[in-house]
Amino acid sequence: MEPSNTNNFPARLSRKAKAQAIMDLLESLYPETPIPLDHQDPYTLLVAVLLSAQCTDERVNKVTPDLFSLADTPRKMKEVSVDQIKEIIRPCGLSPRKSQAISDLSRILVEEYAGEVPADFQALEALPGVGHKTASVVMSQAFGIPAFPVDTHIHRLAYRWGLSTGKSVEKTEKDLKQLFPRERWNKLHLQIIFFGRQYCPARGHNPQECPICSKYGRKSLFK
């Protein structure tokens, strides 16, 4: 479905009403939300999300088949040298740091969690290389627990659409959680990402042609 930038929404809406209109549009555009990162289970998703930092999902998906053919469980991965991991994941960038983190978190999962990824925010965020955003993605996409992962892309779009102040990623996450119903967080996170890639990119963006920015974008976008 190709959206029109002449939607019959009121010109002025409260932030809550604007959020509802945006949510309805995103649902019409992306009723299905496949997870962009290829994975088989919580562990392979965790590693893939870690690799996606400052790297495209497309590139991660090209690297992980070789990595997971070598080791696709924490028990197998902890036996692989950091140098081996680093060589495979080099195309993803930051390979020295990421390879060490993958090795260390795999060892911790084996030693402290019987080789399983914990479905717990605090435990996940304590793992090497795992921040709040990565933990949120794993909790939402691997375990179905409501979370609203906010990366730099969602942070940018929320500001463009007037849904948050843009002061920090943390503030954006708080604002979005207040605006959208909890049961929609997991899906909306992906819908916003899909929309941003298709209609609202960081560069070369024309707000007048964007189905959301043309209706709800900040005035500064049109200067």
Active-site positions?
A: 133, 151
Q: Shortest CA distance to 53 belongs to which of 145, 137, 119, 143?
A: 137
CB 89 within 8 A of CB 80: no
**CB burial of residue 27 (10 Å; 0-12, 13-18, 19+):** middle
Give the whole-angstrom CA distance, residue 183 versus residue 86: 38
Radius of gyration in angstroms for the set of CA atoms belonging to the chain, rounded to a whole number: 19
For the record, the structure tokens of 215 come out as 């209706």
Could you give the CA distance from residue 54 to residue 171 in angstroms, rounded to a whole number? 21
